[in-house]
């Protein structure tokens, strides 16, 4: 097999689908109008395109188009949902429930709110990365105003019992926000059936452009109101001011339309490729472990620990395959993944883990090439791993006195 | 993060991978680091009667820079006396491999591994001298 470039980091970002790019292009030059201009046809054309896109994004989650607020991305959506709800309903109560494995765009606004007199409960998921409805129920208090739990985790792909948690929140009159950045357009979501009040999504995870996101804000039963984070011209029902990014929004709309249309077949295709990857690796390698919950998982993410091998050095072995590692060495922080640590993986396994995230343009050949190269790299590194040598000699690594630095 | 060509070369063609007999009195072993920290280095040296290092082997669990640092360390200590090997500094490794600041700890670990191996073989030699003295007729 010759060298090829394989992109298996689709949970980080995706390339823009050519159909999406085609849809966007006219809105850069010919139809460049400001969607807020009501007095001429440049504005009307732009507004019409924005509204069509709103409909496509809403359709993915069973919402009404009026319930979609455009943002600059899921980070902004999460900030607006959490800070906006806290500022709007803070006089009703000052307790928020979230989890330890949320994206930083949820954790950090919650931590900020802790400095503003709010009390935040960070729930610990189980070993597969799932928070249960019982845990949420136990954490609820009289003064709880918001529950924010991600739909699916970005590192391990585990899907939370969102419908059950949504029903519980509605029963208690507590707002329910879900960060659906990874799940949107990949797995079925219905804000009505799942009783979701606020939902964050991003275009660039579904073959749309970067810099565009959406926040679903429920309009009835209950009507959710948010204090804005960005003030100005009162765009987006006053919740998010700023001239709309019309080409980006058109791209998001088209990406959402395609994702919704293709989801039934595409999710099956991705799950089959993901299973092929896992089966291929398990066939040729011992001492590997799949992290997450295979029963409740996105079809495109698989996270694997390769025992006795460090993640960054493993990635070096297949530099033409793009993946992510839970190892500290890939980040500036020198701390291994907090998500893997918080599902109880232990630092040494977190250092040995790789996330493979498949996408629309991943082929069977890509997977076979990946299996081949990963197997070679793991064997190359195990041959020089003192841990592997000790394990083969029957040493219990957990009982060794290591010399910590 | 991009790696220097030298790091990539040591990663792809590591020098002196392997193990020496830990029970041999002429072999010194240094194991430093911890799996939780993402680096474990095992570096071994073998000395002749003159105290010169005739062989060196390593095994490393860690990132590419850690592997390269220990691979380079084995190359550098071979042929040196223990005293000379002790003079090797992590900064020499940083320079040779063009390690970025975030990877300096890898070179520190390699220096520690060399020192631990030297200390181990010296301890064994002292024990040998002591037992030889004890068993010789007075």
Q: Which residue of B has its CA nearest to A311?
A: B63
Q: What share of chain B is helix, strand, coil (3-state, %, to 5)?
A: 55, 20, 25
Residue B5 with chain A: CB contacts under 8 Å: none
- Alpha carbon distances (Å) from A110 to A104, A116, A120, A180: 9, 10, 7, 17
Cα distance between residue A392 and residue A394, in whole Å = 5
Cβ atoms A244, A223 nearer than 8 A:
no
Residues of B in contact with A329 (CB under 8 A): 38, 63
Q: For position A1, what pLDDT does the model report?
A: 46
> Do residues A268 and A251 both lie within one domain?
no
- Would an 8 Å CB–CB cutoff place A310 in contact with chain B? yes
Task: Please give the residue range of the domain that contains residue B80.
Answer: 5-124
Q: Which residues of A touch B3 (CB under 8 A)?
A: 316
**Cβ-Cβ contacts under 8 Å, B35 against chain A:** 347-348, 351, 387, 397, 402
* Nearest C-alpha in A relative to B100: A332
**A:B CB pairs within 8 Å:** 89
Residues A244 and A281 in one domain: no
Cβ within 8 Å, pair B64-A334: no
Is pLDDT of B116 > 90?
yes
Residue A249 has pLDDT above 70, yes or no: yes
- Residues of chain A neighbouring B37 (CB-CB closer than 8 A): 347, 404-405
pLDDT band at A77 (very low <50, low <70, confident <90, very high): very high
pLDDT of A328 above 60: no
CB contact under 8 A, B40 and A402: yes
Q: Are residues A242 and A274 in the same domain?
A: no
pLDDT one-digit tens code per residue, A166-186: 999 999 999 999 999 999 999
pLDDT score recorded for residue A171: 97
Query: Nearest to residue B28, comparing CAs of B91, B114, B108, B104?
Result: B114
Pairing of strands A301-306, A353-357: antiparallel
| Backbone torsions φ then ψ of A329, nearest 5 degrees | -65, -15
A312 → chain B, closest CA residue: B63
For the ranges A60-64, A230-234, A265-269, which has the lowest average pLDDT?
A: A230-234
**Does some domain include residue A1?**
no
Which among A312, A334, A385 has CB closest to B64?
A312
- Where is pLDDT greater, at B26 or A345? B26
B35 contacts A351? CB cut-off 8 A: yes
CATH number of the domain bearing residue A84: 3.40.640.10
Mean pLDDT for all residues in chain A: 95
User: B105 vs A405: CB contact, 8 Å cut-off?
Assistant: yes
Provide ipTM, 2 decimals.
0.91
Q: Are A274 and A358 in contact (CB under 8 A)?
A: yes
| Residue among B33, B59, B112 whose CB faces A384 most closely | B59
CB contact under 8 A, A397 and B35: yes
The residues of B carrying an active-site annotation are: 37, 106
SS3 A115: coil
Between CA A140 and CA A111 the distance in angstroms is: 18
Same domain? A331 vs A345: yes
Shared-domain flag, residues A277 and A324: yes
In this predicted model, what pLDDT tens digit does every residue of A274-302 receive, in sequence order? 999 999 999 999 999 999 999 999 999 99
For residue B4, give the nearest of B87, B90, B95 by alpha carbon.
B95
Q: Is residue A373 part of a domain?
A: yes
A386 and A310 both lie in a single domain = yes
Tell me the average pLDDT of chain B: 93
Angle, vertex CA B122, rays to CA B118 and CA B126, nearest 5: 175
Q: Is residue B132 one of the residues assigned to a domain?
A: no
Q: What is the pLDDT of residue B3?
A: 87
* pLDDT 10s digits, B34-69: 998 889 999 999 999 888 999 999 999 999 999 999
Quote the CA–CA distance of A101 and A85 in Å, as a whole number: 21
> DSSP labels for A144-185?
EEEEE--SB-TTT-BBP-HHHHHHHHHHHT-EEEEE-TTTTT
How close does chain A come to B106, measured CA to CA in Å? 11
- Interface mutation target, options A329, A333, A387, chain B, most CBs of B under 10 Å: A329
Contact: A402, B17; criterion CB under 8 Å: no
For chain B, how many structural domains are there in total?
1
Q: Which of A328-349 are b and which e, b meaning 16 or more Cβ less than 10 Å from the residue's Cβ? A: bbbeeeeebbbbbbbbebebbb
Tokens of A76: 């902004």
Whether the predicted pLDDT of A128 surpasses 70 = yes
- Nearest Cα of chain B lies from the Cα of A390 at a distance, in angstroms, of 11
- The CA distance from B78 to A25, in Å, is 63
Q: What is the pTM of this model?
A: 0.92
Mean pLDDT, residues B25-34 taken together: 95
Report the C-alpha gap between A159 and A244 in whole angstroms.
Answer: 32
Residues of chain B contacting residue A334, judged by C-beta atoms under 8 Å apart: 102
Give me the pLDDT at residue A347, please. Answer: 83
What residues make up the domain containing A150? 18-259
Give B63-79 pLDDT, tens digit per residue: 999 999 999 999 999 99
- How far, in Å, CA of A387 to CA of B15, rounded? 19
The confidence score (pLDDT) of residue A2 equals 55
User: Is A403 within 8 Å of B32 when comparing Cβ atoms?
Assistant: yes
CA distance A155 to chain B (A): 19
Same domain, A121 and A230: yes
Contact A389 B19 (CB under 8 A): yes
CATH number, residue A316? 3.90.1150.10
pLDDT digits over A191-244, tens only?
999 999 999 999 999 999 999 999 999 999 999 999 999 999 999 999 999 999
Can you give the pLDDT at residue A3?
67
Chain B contact residues (CB < 8 Å to A): 1, 3, 8, 11, 14, 17, 19, 31-42, 58-64, 66-67, 102, 105, 108-109, 112, 116
Same-domain status, A136 and A68: yes
| For residue A332, pLDDT beyond 80 | no
**Are A201 and A120 in the same domain?**
yes
Tell me the nearest-neighbour CA distance from A120 into chain B, angstroms: 29
- Position A333 scores a pLDDT of 59
- Which of A311, A313, A354, A396 to substitute to test the interface with B, most B CBs within 10 Å? A313
Give yes or no: residues A315 and A221 share one domain.
no
Q: Is residue B136 part of a domain?
A: no
Residue B72 domain flag = yes
- Which of A316, A329, A395, A400 is labelled catalytic? A329
Instruction: Enumerate the residues of chain B whose CB falls inside 8 A of the CB of residue A389.
Output: 19, 42, 59
Q: Do B38 and A329 meet the contact criterion of CB atoms below 8 Å apart?
A: yes
| Percent of chain A residues topping a pLDDT of 90 | 90
B63 with A313: Cβ contact below 8 A: yes
pLDDT of amino acid B79: 95
Same domain, A238 and A313: no
Give domain status of residue B33, yes or no: yes
Tell me the two tokens of residue B12.
């792809």
Question: Which of A242, A259, A276 is at the close of a domain?
Answer: A259
CATH code, domain with B49: 3.90.1010.10
Facing A310 at nearest CB: one of B38, B58, B112: B38
How many domains does the structure of chain A reveal?
2
Residues A156 and A49 in one domain: yes
């Amino acid at each position: 097999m010759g060298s090829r470039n394989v992109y298996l980091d689709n949970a980080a970002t995706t390339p823009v689908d050519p159909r999406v790019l085609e849809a966007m292009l006219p809105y850069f030059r010919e139809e460049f109008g400001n969607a807020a201009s009501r007095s001429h046809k440049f504005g009307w054309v732009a507004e019409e395109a924005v509204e069509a896109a709103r409909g496509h994004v809403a359709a993915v989650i069973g919402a009404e188009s009026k319930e979609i607020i455009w943002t600059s991305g899921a980070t902004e959506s999460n900030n607006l949902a959490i800070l906006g709800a806290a500022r709007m309903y803070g006089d009703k109560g000052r307790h928020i429930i979230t989890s330890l494995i949320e994206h930083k765009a949820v954790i950090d606004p919650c931590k900020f709110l802790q400095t503003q007199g709010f009390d935040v409960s960070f729930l610990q998921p189980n070993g597969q990365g799932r928070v249960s409805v019982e845990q949420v129920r136990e954490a609820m208090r009289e003064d709880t105003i918001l529950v924010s739990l991600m739909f699916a985790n970005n590192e391990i792909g585990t899907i939370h019992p969102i419908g059950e948690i949504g029903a519980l929140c509605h029963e208690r009159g507590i707002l329910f926000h879900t960060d659906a950045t990874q799940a949107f357009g990949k797995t079925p979501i219905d804000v009505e059936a799942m009783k979701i009040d606020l939902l964050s999504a991003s275009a660039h995870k579904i073959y749309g452009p970067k810099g565009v996101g959406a926040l679903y804000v429920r309009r009835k039963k209950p009507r959710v109101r948010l204090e804005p984070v960005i003030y100005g011209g009162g765009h987006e029902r006053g919740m998010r001011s700023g001239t709309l990014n019309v080409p980006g929004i058109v791209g998001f709309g088209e990406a959402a339309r395609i994702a919704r249309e293709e989801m039934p077949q595409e999710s099956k295709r991705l799950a089959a490729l993901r299973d092929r990857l896992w089966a291929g690796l398990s066939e040729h390698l011992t001492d590997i472990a799949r992290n997450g919950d295979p029963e409740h998982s996105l079809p495109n993410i698989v996270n694997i620990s390769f025992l006795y091998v460090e993640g960054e050095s493993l990635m070096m072995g297949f530099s033409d395959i793009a993946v992510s590692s839970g190892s500290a060495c890939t980040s500036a922080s020198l701390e291994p993944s907090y998500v893997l640590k918080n599902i109880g993986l232990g630092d040494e396994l977190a250092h040995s883990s790789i996330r493979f995230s498949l996408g629309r343009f991943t082929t069977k050949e890509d997977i076979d090439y990946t299996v081949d190269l990963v197997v070679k790299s793991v064997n190359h590194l195990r041959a020089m791993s003192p841990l592997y040598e000790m394990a083969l000699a029957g040493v219990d690594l957990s009982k060794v006195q290591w010399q910590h630095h | 993060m991009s790696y220097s060509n030298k790091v990539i070369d040591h990663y792809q063609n590591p020098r002196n991978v392997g193990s020496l007999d830990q029970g041999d009195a002429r072999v010194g072993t240094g194991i430093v680091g911890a799996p939780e920290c993402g680096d474990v280095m095992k570096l071994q040296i073998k000395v002749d009667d003159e105290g010169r290092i005739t062989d060196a082997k390593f095994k490393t669990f860690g990132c590419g820079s850690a592997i390269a640092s220990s691979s380079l360390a084995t190359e550098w200590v071979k042929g040196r006396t223990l005293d000379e090997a002790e003079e090797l500094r992590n900064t020499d490794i940083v320079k040779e491999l063009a390690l970025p600041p975030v990877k300096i700890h890898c070179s520190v670990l390699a220096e520690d591994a060399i020192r631990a191996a030297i200390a181990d073989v010296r301890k064994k030699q002292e024990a040998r001298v002591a037992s030889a003295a004890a068993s010789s007729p007075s």
